[in-house]
Amino acid sequence: MSLAYYPGCTLKTRARNLEEPAVASMEALGLKLDEVPRWNCCGAVYSLADDDLIHQVAPVRNLIRVKKQGKSELVTLCAFCLNTLKRANLLMKQDVAKRDTLNDFIDEGIDYGGEVKVLHLLEVLRDRIGWEALSRKVKLPLHGLRAAPYYGCTLLRPREIAIDNVENPTVLGDFLRALGAGPVDFPESTRCCGSYQVVSSPGDIAEYARPILNSALSHGAEALVLTCPLCDYNLGRGQKELIKKGSGFKEMPLIYFTQLLALALGLGPQACHFELNHGGPESLLKEKNLLPQTRSVQLIEG
Amino acid sequence: MSAKQTKKKSAATAVKHRAKETAATAVKEKKQIAARLIPIYIMGKRYEVPEGLTIMKAMEYAGYILIRGCGCRGGTCGACGTFYRKPGDYKLQVALACQKTVEPDMYIAQIPFFPANRAAYDFAGLTAAPEEVFKLYPELFRCVACNSCTKACPQGIEVMDAISALKQGNITVAAQLSFDCIQCGLCTSRCFGELAQYHMFQLARRIYGARIIPRAEHLAGIVKAVNEGKYDRFLDELKGTKEAELKKLYQEREIEPMAAGEDWKPKDSRYL
Amino acid sequence: MTKKASVTISPKKSRREFIKKVKELSGQNLQLCYQCGMCTGNCPAAANMDVSPRRIIELARLGLEEEIAGSRTVWVCASCLACAVNCPRGFDLARVMEAIRLLTLRKNVDRVRPEDIPPQERGDLPQIAMVSGLRKLTG
Ligand code: SF4
Ligand code: SF4
Ligand code: SF4
Ligand code: SF4
Ligand code: FES
């Protein structure tokens, strides 16, 4: 079985460590991620103005490409892409007048009415595969890893597109539990990382990161688990600046949920691109015996 | 009279002269061409021009003297990008003025130039990393995927897809998709995000050509042989040959057949 | 954090047209808000704002365009929607922030110029940051 898959720009460069372990893991779970042909940038942020249709064109064009691909469900890994695509889809479903205008303008020879279902990979794991079935596939349980799920904004807000309970989300924690890790819940797990403010006010980013990191640390987290490349950048950068300022805490590894999935499924660190991570997760994972030696290393030693 | 003034004056004379010449040809053409006259509108004014002319020739027929907005007249320089519309059709059409023949009731405006900033860079210092493009053209990220650029390209390039590829960090795809770009600027004139697409594409093709496609190994071998003087003797021989003999050699030279296979060799293999 | 505790309202300062446009663009009924301050309490950017989110609504519904234009608040907002999901009145403040930003951006005035972002930053920021930043802060 295969699902249409929308990667998003950053997953093709900086966040290959979010994409590649997901593709490998899903293949191992028997679900192929089938990249949408000719996809374009979704625009990252959803337009909040009632009369602004031009910024809906990019996400809707992608949804049309999914329909042309002959698929009815679309999976994303990046939380930002999920948010923008899912909200644009809702608009196409609910607002007939805007739907017609957009279809006319986009002119792809297809009438689109919001029929594609937009999903995050976590939803596929939870609702299609199921936590129990997933845990049966685990070859290397992440025992002893105290990882804190960080949701950020876009998986949960606004309410209409949330993939879980807005106030008290559990999906990332359940996911970690299925992999054998001990999730660390902390109160600031849905607090904003500063988002696009890093473009105009990079100096403010450390102060966005501070309460999030402090809260996770004080609840005993050894690593933060993420779903979004912008959270990754902002928290990574903010953390470095805080350490430079002498705020007293040591750097905490930031890890994408897909990397932990690949590790637990026994796909090894080769699938994970840890070199792209902030906070050097490798030493933590090694300490927990979660980095099996790669074949080449064994060959050299043997 | 200063040198500058002289130059100006002679330039002016040249233009006048050319005007006379064009007018003369136009009259001659008017007499010669028995073709049907059709109405077209150039920048809103009606003219009757013989059918079958290109837009560029029709403009000249109507009395325009093109000192900008025309170059190669062969569809490759990109100087003559043109927009037109026909009554009863909301669609904006594009063409190269030197290539497209006039049609009745066309409303025409040539866009000889459209402002577009080209980033300054020292190419020697650039790598094949996608970030090179991000650094030089950050406005790339303002694209909204409206597709107006693709619709405006007279070369049929999928401009939006090429911009998409750059955003995704894929210089190779951008370079390949934009290979036929002649830098006419029509895409840029239509861009909602105010991007200068064709300058970005040029950068992509440069990086692709110099840093991404593999070098041809056999070419390096030949260059080395040339530098080591392998062919000097043959060149000296040619230099010493009489003109008549040279012509004969040239006319009788062996040409590789169109459908020759990889292993084709000339009969005379002395120079290989 | 709040610059001034009080503002002077006069028919001369109140801009009807502004109120109308904010309502149109945001699709929000400004009268819905009862000024409880839950939005400000949940806003991760409030510490960087000179006018609190709650107060923006108050100023907007009074039509005090100049007070708002002089504040950095809407430009500091990260569109995180913490205000919207926590509002007991179901009011979407993030849309009001966007409406006010657009009233400036649509006059062809940008908040950041891509050219002014240092080249080193442009190479370092991931695409997702540049796309979202330029969407929110340029017109
Ligand atoms: S890509 Fe743009 S500049 Fe190049 S040929 Fe097409 S319209 Fe002209
Ligand atoms: S015209 Fe500009 S904004 Fe529209 S798709 Fe092309 S590059 Fe993007
Ligand atoms: S939370 Fe809602 S009702 Fe309360 S002040 Fe903010 S917008 Fe107004
Ligand atoms: S959307 Fe803006 S105003 Fe609302 S909580 Fe987030 S940063 Fe604050
Ligand atoms: S004159 Fe060169 S392309 Fe038309």
Gap between the Cα atoms of B230 and A74, Å rounded: 62
Domains along chain C with CATH numbers: 12-107 (1.10.1060.10), 112-139 (no CATH)
Can you give chain A as a three-state secondary structure string?
A: CEEEEECCHHHHCCCHHHHHHHHHHHHHCCCEEEECCCCCCCCCCCCCCCCCCHHHHHHHHHHHHHHHCCCCEEEECCHHHHHHHHHHHHHHHHCHHHHHHHHHHHCCCCCCCCCCEEEEHHHHHHHHHCHHHHHHHCCCCCCCCCEEECCCCCCCCCHHHCCCCCCCCCHHHHHHHHCCCCCCCCCCCCCCCCCCHHHHCHHHHHHHHHHHHHHHHHCCCCEEEECCHHHHHHHHHHHHHHHHCCCCCCCCCEEEHHHHHHHHCCCCHHHCCHHHCCCCHHHHHHHCCCCCCCHHHHHHHC
Residue B103's domain comprises 3-110
For the stretch B84-93, pLDDT in tens is 999 999 999 9
Dist. CA C113–CA A29, nearest whole Å: 46
Q: In this predicted structure, what is the pLDDT of residue A120?
A: 98
Compute the nearest-CA separation of C101 from chain B (Å): 17
Which CATH number, 3.40.190.10, 1.20.1050.140, 1.20.58.100, 1.10.1040.10, labels domain A2-121? 1.20.1050.140
Q: Is the pLDDT of residue C1 over 70?
A: no
A138-301 shares the fold of A2-121 = no
Q: Does B193 touch chain A (CB under 8 A)?
A: no
Q: Are B58 and B80 a contacting pair, CB within 8 Å?
A: no
As for ligand 1, residues whose beta carbon falls within 6 Å of it are B 152-153, 155, 157, 159, 181-187, 197-198
Tell me if chain B has a CB within 8 Å of the CB of C113. no
Q: What are the φ/ψ torsions at residue B81 (nearest 5 degrees)?
A: -50, 140
Q: Is residue B268 part of a domain?
A: no
Same domain, B150 and B172: yes
> Which of B212, B235, B260 is a domain's end point?
B212
C134:B138 CB<8 A? yes
Q: Which residues of C touch A197 (CB under 8 A)?
A: 45, 76, 78, 133
Could A52 and C47 be called an inter-chain contact, meaning their C-beta atoms sit closer than 8 Å?
Answer: no
Contact B138, C122 (CB under 8 A): yes
Does the CB atom of residue B58 touch ligand 5 within 6 A?
A: no
Contact flag B134-C123 (C-beta cutoff 8 Å): yes
pLDDT exceeds 80 at position B28: no
**Does a structural domain hold residue B221?**
no
Q: B71: closest CA among B106, B40, B113?
A: B113
Per the domain annotation, does B78 fall within a domain? yes
Mean pLDDT, residues B22-27: 57
B188–chain A nearest CA distance, Å: 18
Residue B194: is its pLDDT beyond 60? Answer: yes
B98 and B10 in a common domain: yes
C134: chain B residues, CB-CB within 8 Å: 138-139, 141-142
What is the domain-level CATH number for residue B128?
A: 1.10.1060.10
Residue C98 has pLDDT above 50, yes or no: yes
pLDDT reported for residue A299: 39
B138 shares a domain with B194: yes
Residue B191 within any structural domain of the chain: yes
Statement to judge: residues B7 and B106 lie in one domain:
yes
The pLDDT value given to residue C13: 76
Please tell me whether residues B100 and B8 are part of one structural domain.
Answer: yes
Do residue B7 and residue B28 come from a single domain?
yes
| CB of C59 shorter than 6 A to ligand 4 | no
Residue B213 has pLDDT above 80, yes or no: yes
Share of chain B above pLDDT 70, in %: 88
Residue nearest to atom 6 of ligand 2 (CA): B149
Do B140 and B71 fall within a single domain? no
Kindly state whether C114 is in contact with chain B, defined as any CB-CB distance less than 8 angstroms. yes
Q: Is residue B116 part of a domain?
A: no
Distances from the Cα of B13 to the Cαs of B5, B19, B20, B23, B245, in angstroms?
12, 10, 10, 15, 47
pTM above 0.95, yes or no: no
Q: B241 lies in a domain? A: no
Instruction: Write the residue with the smallest CA distance to atom 4 of ligand 4.
Output: C83
Determine if ligand 4 sits within 6 Å of the CB of residue C49.
no
pLDDT of residue B271: 81
CA of C36 to the centre of ligand 3 (A): 5
How would residue B4 be classed by pLDDT, with cut points 50, 70 and 90? very low
Per-residue pLDDT tens digits for A131-172: 999 999 999 999 999 999 999 999 999 999 999 999 999 999
Q: Does B17 share its domain with B92?
A: yes
Q: For B43-85, how does the pLDDT look when each residue is reduced to its tens digit (9 = 90+)?
A: 999 999 999 999 999 999 999 999 999 999 999 999 999 999 9
Q: Both B154 and B82 in a single domain?
A: no
B81 and B128 belong to one structural domain: no
User: Is it the case that residue B3 has pLDDT exceeding 50?
Assistant: no
pLDDT at position A236 is 98
**From atom 1 of ligand 2, which residue's Cα is the shortest distance away?**
B191
Residue A13 at interface with chain B, using a CB cutoff of 8 Å: yes
Shared domain for B139 and B201, answered yes or no, is: yes
Judged by average pLDDT, the poorest of A261-275, B91-105, B136-150, B211-225 is B211-225
Q: Give Cα separations from B85 to B105, B183, C6 (angstroms).
A: 9, 22, 58
What is the count of residue pairs from B and C with beta carbons less than 8 Å apart?
36
Neighbours of chain C (3+ CB pairs under 8 A): A, B
Chain A (255-284) residues lying within 8 Å, Cβ to Cβ, of chain B? none
| Shortest Cα distance, chain A CAs vs residue C45, angstroms | 8
The size of the A-C interface in CB pairs under 8 A is 133
Q: Is the CB of C66 under 6 A from ligand 3?
A: no
pLDDT single digits (tens) C65-87: 999 999 999 999 999 999 999 99
Query: Is A41 in contact with B145 (Cβ distance < 8 A)?
Result: yes
Q: State how many domains chain B has.
A: 2
- With 0-12 / 13-18 / 19 or more C-beta atoms within 10 angstroms meaning exposed / middle / buried, residue C47 is exposed
A61 CB near a chain B CB, below 8 Å? yes
- Cβ-based contacts of A12 with chain B (< 8 Å): 168-170
B57 and B156, same domain (yes or no): no
Q: Which of B136, B139, B141 sits opposite C127 (nearest CB)?
A: B141
Q: Which residue in chain B has the smallest CA separation from C131?
A: B141
Interface-testing mutation among C131, C132, C137, with chain B (most B C-beta atoms within 10 A): C131
- Measured CA to CA, the distance from residue A87 to residue A125 in angstroms comes to 21
With beta carbons under 8 A apart, name residues in chain A contacting C130: 199
Q: Where are the domains of chain A?
A: 2-121, 138-301
pLDDT band of B19, cuts 50, 70, 90: low
Residues of C in contact with A50 (CB under 8 A): 24-27, 95
Closest residue on chain A to B129 (Cα): A13
Q: Where is average pLDDT lowest: B11-20, B106-115, B151-160? A: B11-20
Residue whose CB lies within 8 A of the most ligand 1 atoms, among B181, B188, B203, for a mutation test = B181
CB distance B141–C123 less than 8 Å? no
What pLDDT score was predicted for residue A130?
A: 98
Q: Are A206 and A238 in contact (CB under 8 A)?
A: yes
* Length of chain C in terms of residues written: 139
Does residue B68 sit within a domain? yes
Class of the CATH-defined domain A138-301: alpha beta
Euclidean distance between CA atoms A161 and A94, whole angstroms: 13
Q: Given B110, B132, B163, which residue is the final one in a domain? A: B110
**How much is the pLDDT for B5?**
46
Of ligand 4's listed atoms, the one at least distance from the Cα of C45 is: 7
Model confidence at B14, pLDDT cuts 50, 70, 90, reads very low
pLDDT of residue B212: 97
CA atoms of A109 and A121, how far apart (whole Å): 30
Q: Which residues of chain A have pLDDT under 70?
A: 293-302
Tell which of B196, B212, B228 closes a domain. B212
pLDDT over 60 at B10, yes or no: no
Classify residue B58: in a domain, yes or no. Answer: yes
Burial code (b: 16+ CB inside 10 Å, e: under 16) for C101-131 equals bbbbbeeeeebbebeebeeebbbbbbbbbbb
DSSP secondary structure, B195-248, as one string = --HHHHHHHHHHHIIIIISPPPHHHHHHHHHHHTTTTHHHHHHHHTS-HHHHHH
